[in-house]
Amino acid sequence: MHRRTRGAVRRGSVALAALAIAATAQAQRPSTRRPVTTRRSQITVVDARWTGFMVGVQTIAAPGVTVTGNDIDGTFKTGFGPGGGLTVGYGFNRTFSAFASLDLAKQGADMELFQGSFGLSHLEAGFKANLPYGNAATVPYVSASIGRRGLGARVIAGDDGSQFDLKMSGGMFGLGGGIQHALSATLALDGGLELGFGRFSHVSGDGESGDMDTNGSTTVRFKFGMIWRPGSRRPG
């Protein structure tokens, strides 16, 4: 019996030694466990509240303009037309920026007195404020501006068929709103609506120019385009 006990102890010692060797080898193996990556760490949101210098190009869709007044014989009216524009701006911080823009839309006119294609132009400067809605990449905004707008064309007079350059112009103030969506740190989509208020109070054409007594007219422009920001400066 004593011999069987010593045999059992010997077998147990061998088994413990084998387990110890296996455990040591397992501990020395390089770890293949990969670091846990959460979904949140994989998502990078581009901030559209830009600062610094930026340049934008837009396509324009402008409904027709109606001009009336004591110095207008009947109603001067143009039709819906497309166009394009250019904007330069500078963001002071994540909320406020300044801009200057120029755009031109081609609009047809078919009236008893004049026939032709008129160019509707807006030259303005103003400020834009980002609103605290949406997310960092998609930012709604409002804008306000002052400037000058004009309607001009090479027209054909309906009474005798003569041709001459006709232009009406006047000061304006504008209100607008839209949404800017950042595609990257330097490129964004921009779309919105702008309204212009004022009077086309000055006219020049057929060798004459002067002021007119006209009523207020509203111009409407739908804009969609791209904004480019040089460099990769982070929002301040």
Task: Give a yes or no: residue 105 inside a domain.
Answer: yes
Mean pLDDT score, 142-152: 96
Domain containing 194 equals 52-228
Please check whether residues 75 and 179 belong to one and the same domain: yes
Please check whether residues 92 and 13 belong to one and the same domain: no
Q: Parallel, antiparallel, or unpaired: how do β-strands 163-182 and 187-198 relate?
A: antiparallel
Please check whether residues 56 and 27 belong to one and the same domain: no
pLDDT band (50, 70, 90) for residue 3: very low
Q: What is the CATH number of the domain that holds 95?
A: 2.40.160.20
Please check whether residues 25 and 59 belong to one and the same domain: no
Please check whether residues 84 and 9 belong to one and the same domain: no
pTM comes to 0.75
Task: Give a yes or no: residue 40 inside a domain.
Answer: no
Q: How many domains does the chain have?
A: 2
The 10s digit of each residue's pLDDT in 215-226 is 999 999 999 999
Please check whether residues 57 and 101 belong to one and the same domain: yes
Please check whether residues 208 and 102 belong to one and the same domain: yes
CA trace torsion 171, 68, 194, 55 (10° rounding): -50
Interatomic CA distance for residues 211 and 203, integer angstroms: 6
Tokens representing 41 are: 């760490």
Average pLDDT of the residues of the chain = 81
pLDDT number for residue 27: 45
Task: Give a yes or no: residue 233 inside a domain.
Answer: no
- H or E element that contains 80: none
Q: Are 201 and 178 in contact (CB under 8 A)?
A: no
The 10s digit of each residue's pLDDT in 37-96 is 444 444 456 888 899 999 999 999 999 999 998 888 778 888 999 999 999 999 999 999
Please check whether residues 86 and 153 belong to one and the same domain: yes
Task: Give a yes or no: residue 116 inside a domain.
Answer: yes
Task: Give a yes or no: residue 95 inside a domain.
Answer: yes
Task: Give a yes or no: residue 172 inside a domain.
Answer: yes
Please check whether residues 99 and 172 belong to one and the same domain: yes
Instruction: Give, in order, the Cα–Cα distances in Å from 140 to each of 23, 58, 99, 134, 188.
Output: 62, 17, 16, 7, 13
Lowest model confidence (mean pLDDT) among 31-35, 106-110, 159-163, 177-181: 31-35
Interatomic CA distance for residues 230 and 187, integer angstroms: 9
Task: Give a yes or no: residue 9 inside a domain.
Answer: yes
Please check whether residues 27 and 116 belong to one and the same domain: no
Task: Give a yes or no: residue 36 inside a domain.
Answer: no
Which residues does residue 190 pair with via DSSP β-bridges, in sequence order? Answer: 180, 225
Please check whether residues 59 and 8 belong to one and the same domain: no
pLDDT band (50, 70, 90) for residue 4: very low
